[in-house]
Structure 1
Amino acid sequence: MQNGFIKVAAAIPSVKVADCSFNIQQIESLMASAEGQGVEILCLPELAITAYTCQDLFQQQLLLDEAEASLLKLMEFSRNLNVTALVGVPIAYNSMLFNCAAVIQRGKVYGLVPKTYIPNYKEFYEKRWFTSAQVLANGVELRFCGQTVPMSKNLVFSTTHCTFGIEICEDLWAPVPPSNHLALAGADIIFNLSASNELIGKAQYLRNLVLGQSARLLAGYVYAGSGYGESTQDLVFSGRAFIAENGALLAQAERFAMREQLICSEIDVERLRAERRTNTTFANAFDNELVQNYRNIELEPYASNVPFTLTRPIDAHPFVPEGYELDERCEEIICIQSEALARRIEHTRAKTVVIGISGGLDSTLALLVAVHAFDRLERDRRGIVGITMPGFGTTDRTYTNATNLMKELGVTIREISIAPAVTQHFMDLGHDINVHDLTYENSQARERTQILMDAAGQMGGFVVGTGDLSELALGWATYNGDHMSMYGVNASIPKTLVKHLVSWAARNMADEASRTTLLDIVDTPISPELIPADENGNIKQVTEDLVGPYELHDFFLYYVLRFGFRPQKIYYLACRAFDGTGNGTAYTNEVILKWLRTFFRRFFTQQFKRSCLPDGPKVGSCSLSPRGDWRMPSDASSDAWLADLETEDESTPSVVENA
């Protein structure tokens, strides 16, 4: 285990029906392979030792004796291995036969979990041979393979790094699967030993079932199904296997492969536990009386010499899906934002909405949302008042894009230069206009906000805020300047997503002229434009040069807000996500560490700005609204978080603050 990740695997051995010696050789080979890859827990299919399709041969004493002898051999094989194996085997007890999962580790069987729901419909006749676990009293133990072994459906197993539970095939399909109770009894991961046959359309249905159950339980789910070698007398088994985590598919086997398979991935147990702590509904479902019926069995500590390797990909842009999902997401977000704004317009009976248009991404998105809201309300777009307020740092590119976009969208345009008022303000303060410090920058931002507020009052409307989630996280806003509005439509949209939303709007909401303008806005460097341009008229003050790349900060923010990960783990994930092999830009570890420190310092020191945010709709899973997702004291110390990132030979970089 490393940083909360535990490596698990699902194995699909080739089998021969009723040939336990052959089957155990295949299982041993897969166990050895899993051991070599540092797998901590390995799940094999239902009745893997005998094969699932033995039918009435399950009533033959020889087969049952062979199964027990083979399990003994497997136990001996496991004696010097670190991997814990879950193996399907028939178990005779009290004149009954049970379809069981045996938990084997280092030469010992720690428990037997019988199948609860025995299918007996259509192609299934399991009740002909097997009895349900429901007939067993709690606390049953039996002599098996020279040991006294607990046998119950109410067993959970604890390793050094996680707690897991087991269900078998049909159990997952039941209205109330055993895994529901296993999760409430503490199981982080559910393992399913299965032998479900293949039918047209069944694979997708089963995949959705596995993903849905993992999401419902906020759990990992590992499913291993029987494959090649099972009898094809009447049925076909394609070798389905899945590894899922809270609704996300991490790995899956190749269907219809005529060979054994081993699929591995890492389940983030720390992430699952964080989700459960946050989701109070999970805790509310806890039934102490029910959980008392479950027995927790501790396994031997896991200790492997195989270096841990993280094989699952880490998405560098967790707020931004890919492919067709991105288009769906963008349309949905625009609709959420515009519906929220439309409702606020109707409630306040506003005649207009006022937006400061800079030619940048955020104000462009706010304008597009306002246009969409007015169109849905069937109101004249001229009720949207876009005010461009050129100042000392405004460039021709952003000014031209701002005015062109407003013309192309058919909104009312006003232009009010802030230069005279700010110059007078500097004179009143006795501030040298050539000193480009925070006073120089913030005076401009506050003057723009004053203009917007007063213009809104003048025209019977309210100010629509443009600031986004990333800026709020970093405090990259002037207090009582661009930090303030009457309704902030972008308040829960991270910067990395804003760019995609504007690009989507260019493709789907715009005519040819406005499309060209929108795409140029997307390509414009992000800047508050509070410092004069360079000698060539280009933007001189680039935000990401000052506070760091937004794709890094959005990555940090996601894991802070969604899961509360400690800084060391976020650093570990970021180094993986931005190593140049995935979908993120390549950054050195030193650069990532520098900006992660910046993120935590700013995130803590700038909370006071978030404590008095205006209203705004929650759009995604993360929000910093003080009335919703994030309540934090403004004077909380960041020392522990920064100390978590400290190393002996690295100094803390300086941070540019934007008060």
Structure 2
Amino acid sequence: MRHGFIKTAAGTPKIQVADCVYNAGEILKLIRQMETEGAKIMAFPELCITGYTCQDLFWQTLLLDSAKEQLVWLAGETSQVDALIIVGLPWEYNGKLYNVAAVLNRGKILGLVPKTNLPNYAEYYEARHFTPADPETHMVTIGEENVPFGTKLLFSCPQMPGMKVAVEICEDLWVPNPPSVGHALAGANVIVNLSAGDEITGKDTYRRELVKGQSARLICGYIYATAGEGESSTDLVFGGHNLICENGSILKEAKRFINETIYGDLDIRRLVTERRKMTTYPAADTTGYQEIAFALEKEETKLTRTFPRKPFVPSGKEEREKRCDEILTIQAMGLKKRLEHTHSQSAVIGISGGLDSTLALLVTARAFDFLGMPREKITAVTMPCFGTTDRTYRNACDLTEKLGATLREVDIREAVTIHFRDIGHDMENHDVTYENCQARERTQVIMDIANQTGGMVIGTGDLSELALGWATYNGDHMSMYAVNTSIPKTLVRHLVRYYADTCEDDRLSEILLDILDTPVSPELLPPKDGKIAQKTEDLVGPYELHDFFLYYMLRAGYEPDKIFRIAVQTFEGVYDREVILKWLKNFYRRFFMQQFKRSCLPDGPKVGTVAVSPRGDLRMSSDSCVRIWMDQVEKLS
């Protein structure tokens, strides 16, 4: 439960229709298994104590009494189980029968939630037996306890601040205005759905998208437990298609037709953070709702949830290729508009033979194609200096030629040497002045060439460099339009590789693959034995770590110790704890210290959910103090 994680479970017992004693025993077996796995919220299918397919047996008093007896028995048998348990059964109230979800915790029945929307079409005829829920909350007596009976019940846990659980049943989700909408607006961020939908061809796809979409729309965790094998097959087959989703993502999905129990670690704190920062999400209005407390032991949640090592990059090949093409188009369309608006006759790019300038050139070529402008109007400027290697120089020239742009070479060694003399800098002193003089000279050159050609300078720096401040202020930091400004380094690599894989030009692909194989470097220090001497990741840390840190800090709102926890798990076997901690410290220090560079960024298109534009996603003062973040990081040592 630390860091806001809570383990949840959705299980489908193999029942026997109308045998409440047997079914309660099977439910208890699953509860014991879930308990072993550390689940704190346990969901079971609709009417699982009796079976959904009892049909007119629901009119039998004996069945209803047996179901109630077994619910009380289950409550007693789970008095030592540290969990919130939700099971389905029929319940008679005021002479009418209701399809309800019973909520149990530590031997107590906390509430009964009746189903609101009863399907009575096609294969369903629930209105034959059941009555829709009354909007009012009533009290029913079970043994010596008075228990609330109604749809507007919220279950909260003092040991898990911020978490509120609500329940809806099957068809309630499939209607135009599900009860879960009202529950979420009242503050519920975990919705449990007890279901018994049968399987027909293609329905699983719709169900999956429905549950996933509702979790996204409501910014909640959604636990969907449905009936499976054991229900009557007289006319229908039930698949046990259990789902656990969180804010539009599927955490776990059961294989159908095997009654699989699934587990998912919901991140309650992230859900709370997402709702808080979304200004269009209304404040909770609990009017008409009753809040019921339940208890859990406060303990560590052993995470089975995985976190993508490259959160900015889709994992599946098909989705990744689709996303890469979309991103390249967004970048190119942003540049297209700017070129049109400024009536630019050319675009000027400082081409280094590295990844970022390669991507910028590819994007610019696409923008020119969209405009119907000849690619020779793109001027790619290579500016050799003290750190340039033959490999990067050759790749820069070959790439420009292959794309049909105009190559221009300006050797800046002499200009920089004169500048060193003018400011009294020792050529043998390879400090930050030595490096930045070269970066600023290159920027001056391409700015002036842009003036010569009636064009604009296209920025090449990426999101990862901006996060770390790994850019020379008023050097490569500056441009007239920055196409890579919201592309992290890990994604830059995939975009270039996508282009190499799909360009249908063997020579262009060969060049791009060699660029991908070249170490990331600003090439501002003299090479050693003709090879790159200055490798960025040796200096600031691995970009895959920094992109991971950046995503979970800005997108998810995680604090340093939570990021460290999931990073250690995610990168196990790749980086040890000490290495991750070293670069996490460096990340926070640089992120806060270098905000002044992000405060005056050039314009550039946003392509994903994380961006640092001062006009858009990141409004942060340049002199914000990093103290409380670093204090937490230091405690991890």
TM normalised by structure 2 equals 0.98
Inter-partner Cα distance in structure 2 for 1:199 and 1:493: 42
- In structure 2, the CA distance between the partners of 1:587 and 1:524, relative to structure 1 (3 Å rule), is same
Note the 1:163-242 alignment, pairs <5 A. Answer: 163-242=164-243
Contact kept in structure 2, 1:243 and 1:250, CA below 8 Å: yes
Which deviations, in whole Å up to 9, do the C-alpha atoms of 1:508-551 show, x marking residues without a partner? 235221111111001000000000000x2000000000000000
From 540, 543, 548, the equivalent of 1:547 is 540
Q: Which amino acid aligns with 2:534?
A: Q
Q: Give the drift of 1:144.
A: 1.8
Aligned counterpart, 2:2: 2
User: Equivalent residue of 1:644, what SS?
Assistant: helix
Contact kept in structure 1, 2:46 and 2:169, CA below 8 Å: yes
Is residue 295 from structure 1 mapped to residue 290 from structure 2 by the alignment?
yes
**Equivalent-residue separation in structure 1 for 2:578 and 2:143 (angstroms):** 55
Are 1:386 and 2:380 an aligned pair? Answer: yes
Instruction: Note the C-alpha offset of 1:203.
Output: 1.0
What is the correspondence of 1:20-419 to structure 2 with a 5 Å cutoff?
20-133=20-133, 135-138=134-137, 140-159=138-157, 160-161=159-160, 162-257=163-258, 260-283=259-282, 286=283, 288=285, 291-303=286-298, 308-322=301-315, 323-419=317-413
Deviations 1:437-457 (A, max 9, x none): 011000000000000111101
Counterparts of 2:62 and 2:155, CA distance in 1: 31
8 A Cα contact 1:462 1:486, kept in partner: yes
- Quote the sequence identity (%): 55
Partner residue of 2:554? 561
Cα distance, 1:301 vs structure 2: 3.5
Aligned partners of 1:408, 1:236: CA distance in 2, in Å? 59
- Is 1:82–1:303's contact at 8 Å kept on the other side of the alignment? no
Whole-angstrom distance in 2 between the partners of 1:169 and 1:335: 41
Distance of 2:450 and 2:105 partners within structure 1: 71
Match of 1:653 in 2: none
- Would you say the 8 A contact 2:83–2:296 is kept in 1? no
The answer to whether the Cα contact below 8 Å between 1:68 and 1:145 also exists between their aligned partners in 2 is no
CA positional deviation for 1:60: 0.8
CA distance in 1 between counterparts of 2:466 and 2:135 reads 57
Per-residue Cα deviation, 1:136-159 (whole angstroms, up to 9, x for no partner)? 523x10112431000111111102
Q: Tell me the residue number matched to 1:654.
A: none
Matching residue's letter, 1:397: R
In 1: Cα distance, 2:598 partner to 2:135 partner: 57
Question: How far is the alpha carbon of 1:287 from its aligned partner?
Answer: 7.1
* Whole-Å separation in 2 of the counterparts to 1:55 and 1:358: 74
Q: Is the Cα–Cα contact under 8 Å of residues 435 and 525 in structure 2 kept in the other structure? A: yes
Number of the residue aligned with 2:487: 493
Within 5 Å, which residues of 2 pair with 1:450-465?
Answer: 450-465=444-459
How far is 1:272 from its partner?
1.1
Q: Would you say the 8 A contact 2:461–2:477 is kept in 1? A: yes
Letter in 1 for 2:618: W
2:592 pairs with 1:616: no
Conserved in 2, the CA contact under 8 Å of 1:393 and 1:529? yes
Flag structure 2 segments of 5+ consecutive residues without an equivalent: none
Q: Where does 1:458-607 land on structure 2 (aligned, <5 Å)?
A: 458-509=452-503, 511-534=505-528, 536-580=529-573, 586-607=574-595
The answer (yes or no) to whether the contact 1:34–1:83 under 8 Å persists in 2 is no
Instruction: Determine if contact 2:199/2:238 at 8 Å carries over to the other structure.
Output: yes
Runs of 4+ deviating beyond 6 Å: none
Distance in 2 (CA, whole Å) between partners of 1:374 and 1:264 is 50
Distance verdict in 2 for CA 1:303–1:602, change over 3 Å: closer
Secondary structure of residue in 2 paired with 1:47: coil
User: Counterpart of 1:265 in 2: which secondary structure?
Assistant: strand
- The one-letter amino acid paired with 1:566 is E
CA distance in 2, matches of 1:560, 1:83: 30
Distance across 2 between alignment mates of 1:434 and 1:347: 46
Question: 8 Å contact 1:40–1:302 — kept in the other structure?
Answer: no
Verify the 8 A CA contact 2:218 2:247 in the aligned structure 1: yes
> Could you say if the C-alpha distance between residues 609 and 136 of structure 1 is closer, same or farther in structure 2, counting changes exceeding 3 Å?
closer
Q: Distance in 1 between matches of 2:5 and 2:116?
A: 30
Name the SS for the 2:281 alignment partner.
Answer: helix
Cα distance in structure 1, aligned partners of 2:27 and 2:75: 12
Structure 2 vs 1, CA of residues 454 and 303 (structure 1 numbering), >3 Å: closer, same or farther?
closer
SS in 2 for 1:558: helix
Query: Secondary structure of the residue that 1:444 maps to in structure 2?
Result: helix
Shift of 1:598: 0.1
Q: Distance in 1 between matches of 2:510 and 2:236?
A: 58
Q: Is the 8 A contact 2:264 2:304 kept in 1?
A: yes
Question: Structure 1: which amino acid aligns with 2:75?
Answer: M
Note if contact 1:252-1:263 (Cα within 8 Å) is conserved in structure 2: yes
The alpha-carbon distance between structure 1 residues 335 and 400, as it changes in their structure 2 partners (threshold 3 A), is same
Give how far 1:303 is off: 4.5
For 2:301 and 2:136, how far apart are their aligned partners in 1? 41
**Aligned partners of 1:503 and 1:294: how far apart in 2?**
53
Distance 2:341 2:367 in 1: 14
Aligned partners of 1:472 and 1:303: how far apart in 2? 40
- Between the aligned partners of 1:541 and 1:409, the Cα distance in structure 2 is 28
Q: Counterpart of 2:453 in structure 1: which amino acid?
A: M
Distance 1:418 1:220 in 2: 57
TM-score, length basis structure 1 = 0.95
1-structure distance, mates of 2:298, 2:78: 14
SS of 2:562's equivalent in the other structure is: helix
Alpha-carbon deviations, 1:345-376, whole Å to 9, x = none? 11000000100000000000000001011111
1:199 deviates by: 0.7
Q: Aligned partner of 1:577: which letter?
A: T
CA 1:62/1:392 → structure 2, altered by over 3 Å: closer, same or farther?
A: same
- Indicate if the aligned counterparts of 2:46 and 2:87 stay in contact, CA closer than 8 A: yes
